[in-house]
Every structure is written in C-alpha cells, then in structure tokens.
Structure 1
Amino acid sequence: MPFRLEAGVNRSIVPGETIAAISTAAGEAAIALVRVSGEDAIGVADKVFRGKQRPSDLQSHTQQLGEIVENGAVIDQAMLAVHRAPASYTGEDLVEISCHGGALVTAKVLETCLRAGARGARPGEFTERAYLNGKIDLTQAEAVIDLIRAQTDLALRSATEQLSGRLGEQFRNQRQRLIEIIAHVEASMDFPEEGISPDDITTIRSRLESLQSEIDKLIATAETGRILREGLRVVIFGATNAGKSSLLNCMLGFDRAIVSEMHGTTRDSIEERINLRGVALRLLDTAGLRAPENLVERQGIERTQRMLEAADLRLHIIDANAPRPTDFSASSCELLILNKSDLPEHADWSSAGAIRISCKTGAGLPELADEIYRRIGGAKLNAESPLAINARHREQLRRASNAIGRALAAIGAGATPEMFAIDLQEARHAIDELLGGGDEEAVRDAIFSQFCIGK
C-alpha cells in the first residue's frame, strides 16, 4: 500500500539535500528500483557501489553491472545508472539502482544508501523536485498521479496527453493573452489624457469574450475528468432477493458477493470496479429495499438511499417471476432490469420496457452491457479529446471566468478602466495558481502528498 504524507509534515525542500527511496511497488519481483537524487547522489553511489568504474567516472545516461556493498560485505548484485543534472527526471544528479526484487534485499540496499548520506524521500518528492527545477509544470505533475492510477485506456490517454504538457500550454497561453489585455488597460490608466478609444474597447471586449469562451469549454471537461479519474457510480438496487448480488457477480465475472435465497443477505454495500469498453464503472451492490426488520437492516437501507442520490446510473433489478408491487413506479433516470428470464415471466411485466436477463444462464447480459454503455454515453466519451481537467483546475478556471464576466459587465456599463482592471488581475491570479503561482506551497502540498514514496 502506498505511503501517504501525514498531516502537518514539513514539505520544504532544503537545497543540496540528497534523497533516496524505493520506487517500485512493495512485494517480490524480479527487479526493484532504488532511486537517489540530489547534490551528493553520485557521491552516495561511490560509497555503496563496486564495479569496473566508479559511478563518478561514468558519463550521464550510462549504466554498469556491479555490487552493492557495505563495510566490504556484498548485499546484492545490481545495475547502476547515472543521470547527471540537468538531464534527469528531477533536474538534479540522479542515480537509479536496479537490484533484485525481494523485500528484504531492496530494504537493505535503501538502508545502505541512507547510511551513506542520503535521507529518506517524502511522498512525491522526486516529482516535486522535477517541478521546482523546471522539468515539468504542476499540471504535468498531476498527470503523473493520473497515469499511475489509470484503470482504462481512456484514462491512460488523458493522463498521457496532460503529461505531454498540452494542458499547461493552454493555461500559459490564456495567461499571456490576459497579461497583454491588462497591459493595454493599465497603459490607459497611466496616461489618462489619452484614454481608451471606442475601437480599443471593442477589441478588448472581443478578446475577453473569446478567452472566456475558451475557458468555459475547458470547464465543461471537468465532468469527463471526474469519470476518467474516479469512474461512473453505477448503483444496483431493488427489492430483497431480486438478484442484485448475482448481477454484481455476473458483471465482475467472479463471485464477489454472497448469494442466498434468504431475504436481506446483503446488509452493507459492496463496491467493485470494471472496465466497460474503456469506461471505468464503480459498481455498488446495495441492501435490498423492504420494510427493515432490525436496526442494522435499516441502516443498510438508508445507505442505499444515499447512494442512489449520488449515482450516475441506477440499475433497478426486479424478480420477473414476482407480481408487480402496488407501489412500483419506474423512473426515467434508472435502467429497469427483469431478472430470472429463464423462468416464466409474471403477466404484470409483459408490457414493461426493460432489459430481460438471467443471472443464472447469462442470457441478456450482452444486451445489458450495450444499454449501460449507451446510457453513460460511452461512445461519446471515447470519441472526445482525451484532455480533461480535474477539480482543482475547475475551481480556478471558474474563478477566472467569473472575473472576466464581471469585467465584461463593467465594460458594457461604460465603466472606467480602473473599475474593471481589478477583475482582470483576479482572472490572471486564478490562472497563475493553475501553474503554481499564488499560494504555491499549499498547492504543492495538496498535489505531491497524493504520491507514493519513491515517485
């Protein structure tokens, strides 16, 4: 499990400090990677590595086979690669040790590096140093997290696009255009006798409207970004014993939930993820809806109701052999599923517009997958540009768009430059924060604390 930064940990970077960490996942593997970065990274390597050449004699981007040693004792055989500043991931001298992937031997290699003068890296500190040294911008740093967490091809494409710098380039372009407009407006404030001509006002308004439209289009991608990063919330609900848990198991392809003929078997929700043709779905199996018989069942049903309110798609599963409940009503925001199609269907459901399936035989499940994909707009998601913003971007872009909107309203009302210049500066500050300006340390803390140690 990745380590997370505890609240209150000081993330300040001390110039010259050399850091080290295991960069590969915990557990047994053929190879593990120990990374060392900083002013003395190559010096640390000289102390712990024995090969034909000293690491300090190696050219950048070369590697050699040797041994990790401490006090003359061999700890492991390893490949050591040297990347000299500034041509490295962090922008500093960087050493990567590829050792055997056992948990104990990897820990021993790291401990040897720490005793040789490095300190343990904090979560995300290698990528944070890459940002501070100008190798990447904040949007690219966020893309590294998304790339690691991607569970579908679509999410992977989106993260790769952002990592390439396209999103950051859009933000920088928007900031530059704002700066040019602000410079024009403030020049008129410095020379009030010249003022701003009607033609200039028309040009400024047109440029601001174009910029606001572009920002609003980016804001509109936030929901797609949420889907790519978090997945769509698909809640399976219905009466007890209708087949909710059976449907979950069928969609997963393995038995995750307990299935029983007893009513009320599922008391708490179960969540699992699947990849439906490139779209991540968070499937939630919920407690059956009926008059609760005890406090635990009541709490489960209340949780089901809360999940239904937050769902992106509701799968209402019904026992097709049972009569239609007197209080039954179908909603346009849910997909009606009649289960147990391998048995005779009750006449009450003959005219129901529903997908008919059998969790027992698998009949109707391909058609159900098609309908879910259609309902969630899967084809549209896969056809769209993979570049999509996250919640932090949306907050600052909304702030910028609102500020530009206020400036446009002031211009329309005939306000003087002094009255709307403040709004333009507010918009610029919002975009600055997207790229790491403003309260930079707080923004960095929020982003890099999400990383695992070693990245």
Structure 2
Amino acid sequence: MTNSTIAAIASPPGMGAVALVRISGPEAAKVCDKVFRGKSHRDWIPRHQHFGSVLDSKGAKVDDVLLTYFPSPASFTGEDVIELGCHGGVVVTKQVLNAVLEAGAEPAEAGEFSQRAFFNGRIDLTQAEAIMDLISAKTELAARAAQEQLEGVLGKQIENLREALVSATAHLEAYIDFPEEDITPDSADKLFERFDTIEASLKSLLSTADQGKILREGLKTVIVGAPNAGKSSLLNLFLGFDRAIVNEQAGTTRDTIEELINLNGIPIRLIDTAGIREGEGEIEKEGIRRSQQELELAELVLLVIDSSESRDRVNEIEIPKSTRVVRILNKSDLPSHRDWKGDPGIRVSCLDESAADSIRELLYREISANGPIESASLTAINSRHQFCLGKALQSMEKAKLGLEAGESAEFVAIDLRDALGSVGEVIGKTDIEEILGEIFSTFCIGK
C-alpha cells in the first residue's frame, strides 16, 4: 500500500439533496487547503463541520460545501480523512472531485478506503466484507447480520479460535524445541480435549454457511409445474401485483421471471418458469429448456399442481432428489381429481388473495426446518470463510488422527500450524511469529 492521498465520490451516483467527496491520506489537509475557501486547516476542529467553498484550479467557485475533518488515527481509514458535503447534482459532484484531484489527490480504486482501514488495523477482513454486505442487504434481517459482523462479532469468534490454536501449537512446539527447559507437555487426554474444543468451534461456524448464503444472496426458489397449473398466478400472489401474464391458454410464460420477496426477513429469489411439457415450437422448447436449467440449480422448489387434473402431467417433471420441494395443490375452487386424495400438499386457490398467508407460512416452515434463521446472534460466514475454516477443520482432523496413531509431536505441530494459518486467513492474520511470542511469554524460555 502506498502513502498517496486518494479521493472519490462516496455517495451513490445520481441526483440527490447532498453528495459526499471523501479524501484520505497524509496530504489530505494540504490538498483541501488548495481548493477550500473557509477556515485554514490549522483552525479545523476534528469531527465538526466547517462551511466554505470549493474552487477549481482557475479560482472559479464550484460549490458551497461543508468540510469535516477526521485526523489520524481516529478515522475510518486510520489516516487523515476529510469529507466534503456538496450539493447532490451529478455535474457539480464530479466538479468538486476534479478540483480535489487537480490539487494533488489520486483517484481511489474500488474498495481502497476499506482496504486502507484494514491495513491500518482499523478493521479486520470480516468487517471489511461486512461493509458491502450491509450496503447490499436485501432485508432487515440481512442488514442486522451484516451490522453484527461489522461490529466484530464474527471477528471475535475467529480471534478466540486463533488464540486457542496459538496456545496449543505454542505448548507443543515449546516441548519440541526447548526440552532443556523442563516444559511438561500436555497429556494425550489434555491435547484431545483441546482439539475437540477447537473442532467444535470450527463446525459451529461452518454450520452457518447456508444461513449466510441465504442472507447475502437470497434463497433461490423456483416455481415449476405443468402448463396452466397456476405458476404465474402464484408469483403474482406473492408479489401482490400482476407481474406475470396469466391466461387460460397453456404456455403463456415463455421465459423465466425473477423477483425478490421478503419472507420474515429472509430474502427469497422467486423464479417463475415456463410450464414443463413436450414443447410446441422452438420458442416454447427454449423456454422449457431454461425452466429445466433453473430447476437443476434451485435450492427450493415450489411444485404447483393443478388439482383438478390427473397426476400424469406432474409425473413428467423431474426434480433433483436432493432438492427440497413444497407441493402446492392449486385450483381448490374447482372439483379435485381423485388422484390427489390424501396428498400432503397444501390446497389453495392462487386466485384467492387470502391464500398468500398460508403459503408464506408453509414456505417459512420449510426454510426453517433446520432451525430458524433469526436468532440472538446472526453469525453467518460467507463462501471465503467457509473455504478457510473447512481447510482448518481438515488440518485439525489430521492432527487428531496423528495423535491417535502415536505420530511424533513434530508432525502434529505441522498440522496445527496449517490450521492456524487457515483460521488466520479469515480475518487477515497469518503471522506465525505469534507462536514464538506465546512460547517466550508463557514458558519463560531462557530465563
């Protein structure tokens, strides 16, 4: 990372009442002194707003602004940070930024402010990732999970896990490297106890991966069924407005339609598909091919069945065995065919608005079958965390097998170091020097 001073527009693109231009780096105050006409930087009061104007390189006024100064290290990036609040027009915001760049700042790259915050020790990697999770949250529950991660909830759990690994590794390596110091090694039972505790923590965190994926991306829920079963009517029922065309003619839906709904805080990506049957024409065949493609990638399937028809049409639909399925027997306002007697699916009419609540409740129960997503602590790891922690768990299992097989302490220590490195990757800490620090501080080597 360089010592350059960077600047960028920190507010969303487009028109608004106000916009924000952020500057960070050792020369932030000097840069602003060249363009800001108001109080000199020597008179700025930290975290107070100061009114003035921004001038371009020719001395022409660009806009009136409010300047806020955050001196190092008490700022988001850990560097001197200045924020210029200007009017929110597209042109004027760009002119303010250009004035700052002409005065010596460099354009910030994507994510560079958060990257500097990480390198300067203001946040760990999980907190940096939580910033984007919070910005892109699709529901209040997803936002709350991101906020907890931003506050360091996940980072603290990972740090506690690292400390346990550092302690176990340091004790074992001290026994290996400094036998003359009369360091008593942990007994096998004690080591097994430590390993079991670490493994349990890893498995607990890994178990939140599915929850994290749902909160960040939404649960991919595909609506499938035979033509004219009521799939589009179900989508419209969920949304509360007519998003898809509904017609008695079979094959009306020719392409997939995706919409997002909020189910008790859980983002659900609803995908309406073309009715699955032997296609009549190239366009319908392509629509059916896309339906089958979505079906293969679905995390949950809503199988819509026309309960007034026989079972033959539904038998044509092949759903992957590992995919969860919610059966919806539609058209309960019509006489039911005998084939559906005793079927466990929910019986509704998608033309009846009151059916929405019962379908939502059933859907929520299915999603929460392995435990409700909302909880006191919304720890939810992402795919990168899952990969790192998965590697750590494999290393711990290998270390445990080595200990059981009576392998030498040196080989067990290698696996512990691998586990420590993998866990450290989650928060951006892979400094093995900590092990030496733990050895020397805890065991008083060379006293």
Fold shared, TM-score > 0.5 on shorter chain: yes
Contact 1:49–1:55 at 8 Å: present in 2 too?
no
Contact 1:357–1:365 at 8 Å: present in 2 too?
no
**More deviation, 139-148/289-298:** 289-298
Residue 146 (structure 1) aligned to one of 133, 136, 146? 133
Counterpart residue number, 2:355: 364
Aligned counterparts of 1:191 and 1:129: Cα–Cα separation in 2: 40
Contact 1:407–1:423 at 8 Å: present in 2 too?
yes
Q: Does 1:61 align with 2:44?
A: no
Q: What does the per-residue CA deviation read over 1:403-442, in whole Å, with 9 as the maximum and x for residues that have no partner?
A: 1111111111111112211111111111121121459xxx
Q: Does 1:399 align with 2:391?
A: yes
Contact 2:226–2:313 at 8 Å: present in 1 too?
no
Q: Does 1:157 align with 2:144?
A: yes
Cα displacement (A) at 1:283: 0.3
Which residue identity lines up with residue 379 of structure 2 in the other structure? Answer: L
Aligned counterparts of 1:106 and 1:260: Cα–Cα separation in 2: 49
Q: Does 1:122 align with 2:109?
A: yes
Q: What does the per-residue CA deviation read over 1:210-244, in whole Å, with 9 as the maximum and x for residues that have no partner?
A: 11111111111111111111111111010112221
Q: What does the per-residue CA deviation read over 1:367-402, in whole Å, with 9 as the maximum and x for residues that have no partner?
A: 111111111118711136201111111111111111
Contact 2:209–2:381 at 8 Å: present in 1 too?
yes
Contact 1:233–1:281 at 8 Å: present in 2 too?
yes
**More deviation, 109-118/330-339:** 330-339
Label 1:326 to 1:393 Cα distance change in 2 as closer, same or farther (>3 A): closer
Give the secondary-structure state (helix, strand or coil) at the position aligned to 1:140.
helix
Cα displacement (A) at 1:351: 3.8
Q: Does 1:201 align with 2:220?
A: no
Cα displacement (A) at 1:327: 6.1
Which residue identity lines up with residue 268 of structure 1 in the other structure? Answer: D
- Say which structure, 1 or 2, has more relative contact order (CA 8 Å, 6+ apart): 1
Give the secondary-structure state (helix, strand or coil) at the position aligned to 1:383.
coil
Q: What does the per-residue CA deviation read over 1:283-338, in whole Å, with 9 as the maximum and x for residues that have no partner?
A: 01111101012344333323322322332221111223334426638989422223
Contact 2:226–2:314 at 8 Å: present in 1 too?
no
5+ residue gaps in structure 1?
1-12, 440-455
Counterpart residue number, 1:431: 423
User: Structure 2 length normalisation: TM-score?
Assistant: 0.89
Give the secondary-structure state (helix, strand or coil) at the position aligned to 1:380.
coil
Cα displacement (A) at 1:350: 4.7
Cα displacement (A) at 1:195: 8.9
Label 1:361 to 1:100 Cα distance change in 2 as closer, same or farther (>3 A): same
Give the secondary-structure state (helix, strand or coil) at the position aligned to 2:19.
strand
**More deviation, 332-341/144-153:** 332-341
Which residue identity lines up with residue 61 of structure 1 in the other structure? Answer: R
Residue 402 (structure 2) aligned to one of 400, 410, 414? 410
Which residue identity lines up with residue 55 of structure 1 in the other structure? Answer: H
Residue 223 (structure 1) aligned to one of 185, 210, 231? 210
Cα displacement (A) at 1:268: 2.0
Aligned counterparts of 1:62 and 1:166: Cα–Cα separation in 2: 30
Contact 2:29–2:41 at 8 Å: present in 1 too?
yes
Residue 336 (structure 1) aligned to one of 293, 307, 327? 327
Which residue identity lines up with residue 62 of structure 1 in the other structure? Answer: H
Contact 2:7–2:97 at 8 Å: present in 1 too?
yes
Q: What does the per-residue CA deviation read over 1:330-354, in whole Å, with 9 as the maximum and x for residues that have no partner?
A: 9894222232334444454454333
Counterpart residue number, 2:121: 134
Give 1:244-323 correspondences, 5 Å limit: 244-323=231-310
Give the secondary-structure state (helix, strand or coil) at the position aligned to 1:78.
strand
**More deviation, 26-35/262-271:** 262-271
Contact 2:279–2:285 at 8 Å: present in 1 too?
yes
**More deviation, 300-309/241-250:** 300-309
Aligned counterparts of 2:395 and 2:429: Cα–Cα separation in 1: 18
Label 1:198 to 1:126 Cα distance change in 2 as closer, same or farther (>3 A): closer
Aligned counterparts of 1:184 and 1:316: Cα–Cα separation in 2: 57
Cα displacement (A) at 1:45: 1.3
Residue 354 (structure 1) aligned to one of 345, 350, 353? 345
Contact 1:43–1:56 at 8 Å: present in 2 too?
no
Residue 174 (structure 1) aligned to one of 136, 158, 161? 161
Contact 2:175–2:185 at 8 Å: present in 1 too?
no
Contact 1:147–1:160 at 8 Å: present in 2 too?
yes
User: Structure 1 length normalisation: TM-score?
Assistant: 0.87
Q: Does 1:14 align with 2:14?
A: no
Aligned counterparts of 2:422 and 2:283: Cα–Cα separation in 1: 47
Aligned counterparts of 1:305 and 1:33: Cα–Cα separation in 2: 46
Aligned counterparts of 2:353 and 2:337: Cα–Cα separation in 1: 20
Aligned length: 425
Q: What does the per-residue CA deviation read over 1:154-194, in whole Å, with 9 as the maximum and x for residues that have no partner?
A: 21121111111121122222222212212221222224589
Counterpart residue number, 1:98: 85
Aligned counterparts of 2:305 and 2:396: Cα–Cα separation in 1: 51
Give the secondary-structure state (helix, strand or coil) at the position aligned to 2:74.
coil
Counterpart residue number, 1:7: none
CA RMSD of superposed structures (Å): 2.3
Label 1:199 to 1:54 Cα distance change in 2 as closer, same or farther (>3 A): closer
Aligned counterparts of 1:127 and 1:55: Cα–Cα separation in 2: 25
Label 1:57 to 1:410 Cα distance change in 2 as closer, same or farther (>3 A): same
Contact 1:46–1:56 at 8 Å: present in 2 too?
no
Which residue identity lines up with residue 423 of structure 2 in the other structure? Answer: I
Aligned counterparts of 2:183 and 2:397: Cα–Cα separation in 1: 20
Contact 2:308–2:336 at 8 Å: present in 1 too?
yes
Q: What does the per-residue CA deviation read over 1:117-172, in whole Å, with 9 as the maximum and x for residues that have no partner?
A: 11111111111111111111111101111111111122112111111112112222
Aligned counterparts of 1:416 and 1:25: Cα–Cα separation in 2: 58
Label 1:258 to 1:409 Cα distance change in 2 as closer, same or farther (>3 A): same
Give the secondary-structure state (helix, strand or coil) at the position aligned to 2:374.
helix
Q: What does the per-residue CA deviation read over 1:85-141, in whole Å, with 9 as the maximum and x for residues that have no partner?
A: 111111111111111111111111111111111111111111111111111111110
5+ residue gaps in structure 2?
432-447
